[in-house]
Structures are given as structure tokens and as C-alpha cells.
């Protein structure tokens, strides 16, 4: 649909309200699993049960029962009105067709002639026939007048019931009809007359409800006065039915065209999920919205109108030229006010309504801005959470996880300072593992390394014991005797969060997030996301530890806790490559426990295992940091000695032989009166002739030579 473009200062507010409404709907959909917003300070909507009691509707009466009651009690529309309506909607109808109907109904003829000759039209000569009236005023004006008079006399002009103001209702209906007709022209809708009729009758359901359940509807209007929400849902909660559905029911009974039935039923957007909003329903909905913004509502209340987002998808308010629409409406309302004897909206009344509207728009704008800011914060936090989860999955070292996580948390959550602490349960200490941000006088180094039993460590200890996030704020810790205040003062912080991280169901790490100036907004959603973050971090650290344990198991001998044969072979190949490249010598030593089988046979394998562990420890303690020690198998061990020639290797081996010989003093309880000794074979690598196999063979021959000479010796080829 092509629509004229024009900007109007009043309608700018209307369009702004629509944008705000659409934004609220979008934000609600995006955050409904995380965010619960309170957008109004008005009282809560009543529950259906409360409304039934207050409306004196018998308890247990459901919607189906109420609809049956409505269908039974719906008024019958006179045949002349139905025929007149059909002719108005028929594009092929003529002046003569409508003139015949009017002439048949003497009361309608008299009413039309009285109005045409009144001061409302200001005609000079007297009009004595309907045909003359058609000639002077035109076909469109007379047929709309006849239809309006007929509907007014048969539906609206009845005894006033309760607090329902029919004057306001009829003024609103005529205004919506006028605006609907103007909008139909703007959006090139197929029938302006159909739009006029739909606008005129869009709230007919309110009249029906007022006539059939007057007491209940009066109670609803009282509630509306105390809680002014122009909301179809509020009406349905209170009455168990809404006026749109009631209007649809009566239109069906009167056998109105399906297009009118659908327009009335769906003009508030209350449709099934797979239904499509008709263009006519959208036209009526926008017209209704515009009239409420101008203080021309169906009730004598100020209600901040909202437009369903589905309607603006059909009629784009940004492109609607509102000035000619409002001028047409004002002109027709002025005439209708004289005809039907109702007052137009007073300038002072409209001014007050617009003032209230401006205030509401400001409030909604503020709310939407706050929602947008909150949404932006949550998007950043969720993005950071996603990035962290992606990064930590690839890391195999806890230190690398810390290095990657802290900057992401600061960027995504907006915290100025972050501290990662390792929990030493045995020593009851907090050990600094990582820090991000600037602390005055290096505060964490000075204080957080203390025991958690002291004053500063109290909240840290509480967090570890309870395994829950702790949120500390300066306002909550104003009393200096509060144990949580010491940590805040030590960090010179106004607010901080302690996040416990568990691995193997034990709190092993603490993440401290500092908000020193209070610039970061910390909500319940933020704490929830940090809880998810802690769970992910705990799993990642647990996985790295599991990987490290598995990696250790692949290269470490489980009994002696030194390298196994696989790692020794790899290390020997590396040392040979390094020696050849840099032309540096190195040596190896093979150790074999003398008569080890006798130990197992006489004292048991448990004693043999202890001896193996102790001998491996003696060898390891005698080595340098660059030396490599491992168990070849059984009771044999190998030491790779970088940058070591034969003479130095002999001294090293002899020192170990002597230390093992003294082992008897430590083994009395296991192998009493048994002399423990060890035989050693050493060999130096010759880059010109040796490879790994040759070198091991040389050392093995030297070991065999030591055993042949009586054991407890260092053998050399």
C-alpha cells in the first residue's frame, strides 16, 4: 500500500508510542526467560476469579455458558436498518434505491428532513423531500446520515444504564468511522463505505454487553476508572468475554458481511496463531488508536493508547499523512455534534489529556531506554559467556584458562578489577593466581594471601563453605563491625562479587569481581550468568586436570612416580638429536638392584615395591634438574645425563651406589639382616658410531661386567 508521507507534531507522539510498544514487545520476547520487567506502577490486573465474584457472575459459569446467554439475548436489528446497511455497502446502489427505503420508513424520513433543515447544515431554502435532500447534500452524505440515524435510534438511543456514557461512546464511534474512511482512501482500500461502517460499528459489542450484563459491565467500568488500561485482556479477565467477540456474535446474528464480522472481531489483534489480520481490521484499529490519542475515547477516561505491532505491519504509521485525516474528522464531528447533540472535546480537556500523554510517553521512553541499556548489558554478558565457553574448551592448562577468562569477563560484564584466587584447603589460604585491573598499593598481594580465618578472609571463607555467590555492597556493610566490611575497605571498593568455582565438588578457585566506583549495574540476571560462568569454568578446570593426570599416566611409572620406558625412549632420542646438533657429549647409567628376586621371595612383593620406590627416590635425589630418570622395567632404572662425560658419569654412579648400600639402615623393618646393594653400568655417547640401541647395549654390557665382578660395583667398558 502506498501512503502519503507527512510529519505532524501531535502524530509524532503517536508514532513514537507505537515504536515504543513494538520495542517493548521485541524486548519481552528476547528476555522473557531471563528478565521480568515491571513497566507500570498501576495495580495488578484482577484475576478472573476475583472479577467473577465482584461482577456477581455465578461461580463456575464459563465462557461457553456466557456466550450462549449472549446469543440468546442479542437484540434483533430492524429490517430497514439491515437493508439500508446492505445498500450502503453495495457499490452498485443508487440514490433511488436508498430513497425508496427512507420514504417507506416515515420516522426515518421525518428525522432526515428535520436534521437537513436544522441549523447544523445552514441551508437557505427549506428541504421538503428526501430526493431534494439527496440533491443538495449529495449521495455519500445522505446515505451515511441515514445509516447513522438508524443505528443511533436502534442501538444507542436507549435508556442510560449505570455509568456507561453513551454520548462519549457515540462520539467515539463517529470519529473512528470518519478516520477509517479517510485511512481507507490513503491506503487505497477497496471500499471507503465499508471502512466507514466498520468504524461506526467496531465497538457495538460494548453496547451489547452493557444491555445484556449491565451490572457486570458497570463493575468493569468502575475497575477501569481505578486502573485505566485500554486492554482487551483486562476486559476479558473481568467479564470472561471481550467486546470484540460480542460484536462478532451480534454481526453473525444480523447476517452482516464476513468482512465486517472479521474486522470487528480482530480490530484489537486478538487472533489465533495462524490467522492473518485483515486490512479492514487494521484500518479500524489504527483509526481507534488515533481517536484515543485525540481524547475521543469511548469512555470519559484518560487512557494511554497502544497499537498492536501486527497492525503497524499492515499500515505503516511512519508514512501516514495525519493532518488531512484529523481535519476531516474534526469537520465531520462538528457536524455530527450538532445533529446528535453531543459536545466536542473541550480544548482545555484535550490539553490535559495531551499533557498526561506527554508524561506517559516520557515515562515509557525512559522505561524503554532502561530496557535497551539492560538488554545491551545482557547481550555483552552473553557474548562474553559464549566466547569464554569457546576459548576454555581448547585450553589444556589451568593457567591459560585464567589468562583468557579475566579479560573477557572484564569486557563482557564491565567489572573494573578482577582477581583469581586458588583455594588451599590444607593451609586455609587464598593464593593469588591471576589479576586484571589496577589495585592501589597492590592491595590483593598484601591482603588476600592471608588465612581465611582472619577478618579480611571472613567473606571468602563463607563463600567457600556455602558454595554460593556472595554479593557485597558498601551500603549493606556500613557498620564497621560487619565482618564483610573489612574486605571492602581493604580493597577500597564500593561493591564486589565473590564467585566460587568447584572442581570434583570442592571449591578450588574463587573469582573476585570488583566494582570500585559502582559504575557497573549488577542485577539478579548478572549473578545468574556468573553462576553459569562458574559452572563452565569449573568443568573446564576439571577437564584440564583430568587431561594432565591422563598425560602423566602415559609417561609416568605408577609405582615409582618416575618416567616409564616409553618416555625414556623418547627422551633418549631427543638427547641424541640435541647432542649431534650442538656437538655436546652425554652419558647414560643403567641401575640394577642386586638379588632383588630374593627380596620378593623372602619378604613378599609389598616389601619389594617399597624397595623399588625408595631406590628410585635415591637415584632421583642424586640427579640434577636437567637429568632424566626412569624405570626401564622390573628392578632396572635408567638415568640420562646431559653434558656429562664418562669420568663425571662414574662419580655420579658411585655416589648412588654408596647411598643405596646405606639403605640397610632404612630397611630393617622390611628386610632385616639383608644387605641391599646395586650394580651400575655407564656408557658415553659417541656421535660417530652410536645410536640409541647401541648406547643402551654398551651400558648394559658395562652393567653385566659389574655383576660378573661380584656386584655392588660401577661397570665401565
Reduced to 3 states (helix: H, G, I; strand: E, B; else coil), residue 69 is helix
Could you give the CA distance from residue 77 to residue 29 in angstroms, rounded to a whole number?
44
Asked whether 559 and 611 are in contact (CB, 8 A), the reply is no
Residue 635 exposed, middle or buried by CB count within 10 Å (0-12, 13-18, 19+): buried
Helix, strand, coil content of the chain in percent (nearest 5): 60, 10, 30
Could you give the CA distance from residue 555 to residue 211 in angstroms, rounded to a whole number?
90
Could you give the CA distance from residue 609 to residue 599 in angstroms, rounded to a whole number?
10
Is beta strand 429-436 parallel, antiparallel or unpaired with respect to 586-593? unpaired
| Side-chain-side CA neighbours of residue 408 (13 Å) | 20
Q: Is 686 a catalytic residue?
A: no
| Side-chain-side CA neighbours of residue 663 (13 Å) | 28
Minimal CA–CA distance to 261: which of 207, 198, 192, 311?
Answer: 198
Asked whether 497 and 447 are in contact (CB, 8 A), the reply is no
Could you give the CA distance from residue 95 to residue 134 in angstroms, rounded to a whole number?
7
Q: List the grid coordinates of 272.
A: 489465533
Could you give the CA distance from residue 451 to residue 461 in angstroms, rounded to a whole number?
9
**Catalytic: which of 193, 592, 594, 635?**
635
Q: Give the DSSP H or E segment for 560.
A: none
Residue 231 exposed, middle or buried by CB count within 10 Å (0-12, 13-18, 19+): middle
Residue 635 vs residues 115, 300, 605, 649: alpha-carbon distances, Å: 123, 102, 12, 21
Q: What angle do CA 634, 639, 644 make, to 5 degrees?
A: 160
**What region, left, alpha or beta, does residue 677 occupy, with left being phi > 0 and alpha being psi -120 to 50 degrees?**
beta
Length of the chain: 717
Could you give the CA distance from residue 444 to residue 436 in angstroms, rounded to a whole number?
11
The packing angle between helices 322-340 and 9-31, to 10°, is: 110
Minimal CA–CA distance to 374: which of 273, 240, 520, 248?
Answer: 520
Reduced to 3 states (helix: H, G, I; strand: E, B; else coil), residue 164 is coil
Could you give the CA distance from residue 127 to residue 110 in angstroms, rounded to a whole number?
11
Could you give the CA distance from residue 714 to residue 403 in angstroms, rounded to a whole number?
49
DSSP 153: I
Q: Which residues carry out catalysis?
A: 635
Amino acid at each position: 500500500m502506498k501512503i502519503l508521507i507527512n510529519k505532524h507534531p501531535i502524530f509524532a507522539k503517536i508514532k513514537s508510542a507505537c515504536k515504543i510498544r513494538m520495542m517493548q514487545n521485541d524486548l519481552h520476547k528476547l528476555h522473557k526467560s531471563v528478565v521480568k520487567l515491571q513497566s507500570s506502577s498501576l495495580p495488578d490486573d484482577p484475576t478472573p476469579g476475583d472479577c467473577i465474584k465482584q461482577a456477581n457472575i455465578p461461580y463456575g459459569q464459563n465462557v461457553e455458558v456466557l456466550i450462549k446467554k449472549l446469543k440468546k439475548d442479542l437484540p434483533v436489528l430492524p429490517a430497514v436498518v439491515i437493508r439500508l446497511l446492505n445498500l450502503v455497502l453495495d457499490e452498485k446502489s443508487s440514490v433511488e434505491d436508498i430513497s425508496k427505503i427512507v420514504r417507506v420508513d416515515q420516522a426515518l424520513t421525518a428525522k432526515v428532513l428535520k436534521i437537513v433543515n436544522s441549523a447544523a447544515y445552514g441551508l437557505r431554502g427549506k428541504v421538503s423531500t428526501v430526493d431534494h435532500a439527496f440533491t443538495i447534500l449529495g449521495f455519500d452524505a445522505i446515505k451515511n446520515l441515514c445509516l447513522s440515524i438508524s443505528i443511533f435510534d436502534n442501538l444507542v438511543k436507549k435508556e442510560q444504564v449505570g455509568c456507561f456514557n453513551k454520548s462519549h461512546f457515540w462520539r467515539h464511534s463517529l470519529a473512528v468511522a470518519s478516520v477509517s474512511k479517510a485511512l481507507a482512501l490513503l491506503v487505497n482500500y477497496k471500499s471507503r463505505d465499508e471502512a466507514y461502517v466498520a468504524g461506526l460499528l467496531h465497538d457495538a459489542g460494548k453496547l451489547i454487553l452493557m444491555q445484556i450484563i449491565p451490572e457486570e459491565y458497570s463493575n468493569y467500568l468502575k475497575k477501569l476508572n481505578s486502573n485505566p488500561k485500554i486492554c482487551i485482556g483486562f476486559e476479558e479477565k473481568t467479564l470472561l468475554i471481550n467486546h470484540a467477540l460480542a460484536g462478532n456474535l451480534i454481526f453473525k446474528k444480523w447476517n452482516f458481511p464476513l468482512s465486517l464480522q472479521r474486522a470487528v472481531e480482530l480490530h484489537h489483534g486478538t487472533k489465533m496463531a495462524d490467522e492473518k489480520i485483515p486490512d479492514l481490521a487494521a484500518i479500524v484499529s489504527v483509526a481507534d488508536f488515533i481517536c484515543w490519542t485525540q481524547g475521543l475515547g469511548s469512555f470519559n477516561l484518560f487512557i494511554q493508547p497502544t497499537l498492536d505491532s501486527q497492525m503497524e505491519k499492515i499500515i505503516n504509521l511512519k508514512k501516514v499523512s495525519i493532518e488531512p485525516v484529523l481535519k476531516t474528522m474534526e469537520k465531520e464531528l462538528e457536524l455530527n455534534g450538532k445533529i446528535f447533540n453531543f459536545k466536542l472535546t473541550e480544548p482545555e480537556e484535550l490539553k490535559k489529556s495531551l499533557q498526561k500523554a506527554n508524561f506517559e510517553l516520557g515515562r515509557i521512553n525512559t522505561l524503554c531506554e532502561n530496557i535497551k541499556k539492560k538488554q545491551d548489558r545482557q547481550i555483552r554478558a552473553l557474548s562474553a559467556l559464549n566466547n569464554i565457553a569457546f576459548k576454555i574448551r581448547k585450553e589444556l592448562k589451568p593457567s591459560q584458562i585464567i589468562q583468557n577468562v579475566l579479560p573477557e569477563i572484564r569486557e563482557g560484564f564491565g567489572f573494573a578489577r578482577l582477581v583469581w584466587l586458588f583455594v588451599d584447603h590444607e593451609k586455609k589460604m587464598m593464593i593469588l593466581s591471576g589479576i586484571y585491573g589496577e589495585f592501589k598499593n597492590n592491595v590483593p598481594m598484601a591482603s588476600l594471601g592471608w588465612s581465611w580465618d582472619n577478618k579480611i578472609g571472613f567473606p571468602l571463607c563463607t563463600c567457600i563453605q556455602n558454595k554460593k555467590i556472595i554479593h557485597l555492597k558498601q551500603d549493606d556493610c556500613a557498620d564497621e563491625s560487619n565482618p564483610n566490611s573489612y574486605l571492602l575497605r581493604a580493597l577500597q571498593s564500593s561493591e564486589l562479587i565473590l564467585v566460587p568455582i568447584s572442581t570434583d565438588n570442592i571449591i578450588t578457585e574463587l573469582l573476585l569481581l570488583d566494582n570500585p566506583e559502582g559504575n557497573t549495574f549488577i542485577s539478579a540476571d548478572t549473578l545468574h550468568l556468573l553462576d553459569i560462568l562458574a559452572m563452565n569454568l569449573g568443568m573446564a578446570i576439571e577437564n584440564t586436570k583430568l587431561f594432565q593426570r591422563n598425560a602423566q599416566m602415559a609417561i609416568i611409572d605408577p609405582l615409582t612416580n618416575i618416567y616409564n620406558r616409553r618416555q625414556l625412549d623418547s627422551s633418549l632420542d631427543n638427547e641424541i638429536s640435541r647432542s649431534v646438533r650442538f656437538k655436546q657429549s652425554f652419558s647414560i647409567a643403567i641401575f640394577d638392584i642386586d638379588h632383588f628376586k630374593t627380596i620378593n621371595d623372602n619378604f613378599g612383593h609389598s616389601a619389594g615395591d617399597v624397595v623399588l620406590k625408595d631406590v628410585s627416590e635415591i637415584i632421583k635425589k642424586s640427579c640434577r634438574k636437567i637429568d632424566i630418570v626412569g624405570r626401564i622395567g622390573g628392578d632396572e632404572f635408567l638415568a640420562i645425563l646431559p653434558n656429562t662425560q664418562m669420568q663425571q658419569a662414574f662419580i655420579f654412579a658411585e655416589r648412588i651406589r654408596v647411598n643405596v648400600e646405606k639403605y640397610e639402615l632404612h630397611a630393617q623393618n622390611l628386610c632385616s639382616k639383608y644387605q641391599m646393594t646395586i650394580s651400575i653400568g655407564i656408557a658415553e655417547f659417541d656421535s660417530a658410531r652410536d645410536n640409541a640401541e647401541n648406547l643402551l647395549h654398551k651400558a648394559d654390557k658395562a652393567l653385566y661386567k659389574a655383576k660378573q665382578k661380584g656386584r655392588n660395583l660401577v661397570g665401565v667398558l
